[in-house]
Chain A
Amino acid sequence: MDSFVSLANGFAVALTPANLMWGLIGVTLGTFVGVLPGLGPALTIAMLLPITFQVEPTAAFILFAGIYFGAMFGGSTTSILINTPGESATIVTALEGHKMARKGRGGPALATAAIGSFVAGTLGVVGITLLAPIIVKFALTFSPADYFALMLLAFVTVSAVLGSSMVRGLTALALGLFIGLIGVDLQTGQARFAFGQMSLLDGVDVVIVCVGLFAVGETLHLASRYRAGNDEIIAIKGSLWMNRQDWARSWKPWLRGACIGFPIGAMPAGGAEIPTFLSYFFEKKLSKHPEEFGHGAIEGVAGPEAANNASAAGVFVPLLTLGLPTSATAAIMLSAFQSYGINPGPQLLVSQPDLVWGLIASLYIGNVLLLVLNLPLVGLWVQVLKIPTPYLYAGILLFATIGTYGISQSVFDLALLYIIGIIGFFMRRYDFPTSPVIIGMILGPFAEQQFRRAMTISQGDMSVFVTRPISATLIAIAILALVIPLIVQFKRSRRAAEPAAEGQHSA
């Protein structure tokens, strides 16, 4: 296998003590920026680009790969421990992860996230090595109509997070869809719902809504129940590590998450959020303990975390085979190539094999370093929960402020953050789930744009959605996913309605 020889060469280049040192710095720096909401790997790497003048390419890429994976791990750490997703792709992790942490199971939650990320990242790198050309060919056949069908499927999966009441869950989703509409419309350049505010023309940042609803809203809610004092966090209960049952419940979600995340990440408009939603949905449906979902089910951390990391690896498929940057971080990596005078593109793999394989090897090393560094630190991270309550919540709000104000320096954004936090408080008080808001905000604009692109290209002919095989298949799956649970429910209720026959067992 040619790829393996090249990969071995890549490792030979990457595995020097100096390069490992760069990897360590990258992972540490990455974890640090991942912990701060709003400050992502793309921005960090962009600001560190000048380093490409000082060090050789492999060292720089190892540093960047370390930052990339470190940031994602940092993002899940804050999701789990303080319910503040550092990145939009780690929102789903917060759903179950934070519930686990509150129950004293923060250690296993962090561990399953770290190991799941490692497993999925590794599978992703193997996928890049073996499958890249096939996957990229498939990904390019996706037209806007097909993407819209994929969005429909993603919308169906939202039901997994709607919470106890369908009506309130959908209301939260609609609120998210509305927030997603704010700003200049990409297709026509018309401002929508901007209320004459220049600051709203670019839309509302997902991170602001996310941090507002989760961190600020949660803090306000806890303040309102301060005297009741029944919401106490238990720092550690039972083992700090994953027990046998945790392992048994985690390994399948890791693998499934990787299988969902990698191909979607490889698609030019796939992104990292959608695979995490899909993974959560599947884990909830497949779990033997569906009742635990919403109360700290480990599958709900393992699957989405794996999906997130695998999609990050998937992003490198179009990057390395076609020179197509499909995420902000990939785009910045491309400009790092440019700083070395290398023009990224379809010829990259042929013209610069050392660099490309060195980069792939760096991704692998970044993954390993992260695991080696962070597993022993899980115990340390969990100590965060032992910080005295006043400082913990004051610190969370300080971090939320940094994440918003630090980059935009906009008081308007800060005000928006706090207002959304107050809305988040009311949503908790009246039992509206908050995550559908974020999901609506991410999926809504995406679905709308793809739908309108499809309509522009087909000149208004709706039949494109059913005549294209990919989109027809995806829509069929979406319909089945909607209908099958209804049929199952209907059968169950029919069975329940025949008490004469089976009534004796059911008690």
Chain B
Amino acid sequence: MNRRTFLASAGIATVMATVPSLARAQTMKRLEIFVPAAPGGGWDQTARVMDAVMRNAKLIGNSRITNVGGAGGTIGLPQFINQHKGDGNALMTGGMVMIGAIISNKSPVDLSAVTPIARLTGEYLTIVVPAASPLKSMADLVEALKKDVGSVSWAGGSAGGSDHILAGLVAKAAGVDPIKISYVAFAGGGEAMAALLGNQVTCGVSGWGEFSEQVAAGNLRVLGLSAPERVAGIDAPTIKEQGLDVELLNWRAVFGGPDLSEEQKANLINLVTKMDAEEKWQSELKTRSWTRLFLAGDEFGKYLEEDTQRIAGILKDLGLA
């Protein structure tokens, strides 16, 4: 066993050396970041990058990340609500996907129970077609939809997720019944992409980052971007400028526990605002190609409310709620 144990401990030592050492607390002594998803995914990465940046900048002292994954965040949410009532030292990561999951899973609690702190990042979605497709613009797609809704097949993520929601919004704006669209759900991004590249489906919906390289290589063509206006660095027309009143943002945010005092809430907003200003955070966003869409406090709260209503509406139209 000796050699094995030795090697294992060598491995542990090397990895430990990469973890920044604990520093004296400044803005907040202790912070717990709760991730309602399994380790490794987007919300988890957000938590871990936040943790690293805040520790590095000595914004926090002790910290701990807890993962409770499953069902689009609806398993973790009730636990966070129970365990961190009035706790000013806890944050939960989450995102737009959670709204849909709460509605379609008929979760007993929703995001109105927690305290919105800030929206951090987000990604706009794109509608693409294979390079060989006859469809050149959103207008062509709308025409195809009007001619025969069922013949247009959409590849995207799971039913009720952000991709499906965008497909539904487009159908509705085009004047066809969203419930009639031929939406083909794929489990992973790779599978949906393969279906597109292999010309098995009419069009595909996903985040811009997922498609950008294939678009650059000329394998896929963008029909539209779900942003309110053109985005620097993304060479694609918006859906909106092509006459369909559709926009959708897949955002990621942090929330505080229920029943926070004004002071606790202000402290958390202050902490996250400071973190957002850190150079290390900005550079992390760049290497991970996350788009910074910082929106804090009550403004975010208002945004959340509007988005929730909109998503609930379209899910109903899609026959999912």
Contacts and interface: CB of A to CB of B under 8 A. Distances in A.
Q: Do chains A and B touch in the complex (CB under 8 A)?
A: yes
Nearest to A185: B159
A377 B188 contact: no
A29 B11 contact: yes
B151 interface: yes
Given A143-B198, A318-B194, A189 B14 contact: no
Contacts of A185: 159
Interface string A321-344: 011111000111001001111011
B151 A459 contact: yes
B217 A347 contact: yes
Listed from nearest, the 5 A-B pairs whose CB atoms lie closest are A345-B213, A268-B194, A46-B40, A189-B159, A189-B160
B71 A51 contact: no
Interface stretch (B88-96, B111-119, B134-142, B179-187): B179-187
A47 B184 CA distance: 32
A345 B14 contact: no
Interface stretch (A155-163, A195-203, A222-230, A431-439): A195-203
B74 A198 contact: yes
20 contacts: A24-B7, A42-B40, A53-B18, A140-B197, A144-B195, A185-B159, A187-B185, A189-B158, A189-B164, A198-B71, A198-B74, A201-B71, A201-B74, A201-B105, A345-B212, A345-B216, A346-B214, A457-B182, A459-B150, A459-B182
B39 A46 contact: yes
Interface string B61-81: 000001111110011001000
Nearest to B315: A189
Contacts of B67: 407, 409
A380 interface: yes
A140 B320 CA distance: 31
A191 B193 CA distance: 26
B217 A408 contact: no
B273 interface: no
Contact of A346 (B8, B71, B201, B219): B219
B289 A191 contact: no
B15 A140 contact: no
A261 to B, nearest CB: 18
How many residues of B sit at the interface, in one of the four size bands?
A: 35 or more
Contacts of A54: 18
Contact of B288 (A140, A331, A339, A407): A339
Given A47-B39, A456-B153, A139 B71 contact: no
Contact of B39 (A43, A199, A268, A324): A43
A25 interface: yes
Contacts of A142: 194, 198
B222 to A, nearest CB: 15
Given A51-B18, A140-B194, A347-B213, A331 B159 contact: no
A347 B39 contact: no
Contacts of A325: 188-190
B38 interface: yes
B92 to A, nearest CB: 15
Given A201-B74, A202-B71, A331-B190, A338 B288 contact: yes
Given A28-B7, A325-B188, A409-B68, A139 B194 contact: yes
Nearest to B286: A341
Given A189-B159, A347-B213, A456-B184, 8 more contacts: A140-B197, A187-B184, A198-B71, A198-B107, A202-B70, A332-B40, A380-B4, A456-B182
A103 interface: no
Contacts of B309: none
Contacts of B8: 28-29, 32
Contacts of B197: 140, 322, 324
A499 interface: no
A199 B194 contact: no
A220 interface: no
Interface string B100-142: 0000110100000000000000000000000000000000000
A345 B153 contact: no
B153 A457 contact: yes
A48 interface: yes
Contacts of A42: 40
B229 interface: no
B14 A25 contact: yes
B52 interface: yes
B200 A143 contact: yes
Contact of A339 (B11, B74, B287): B287
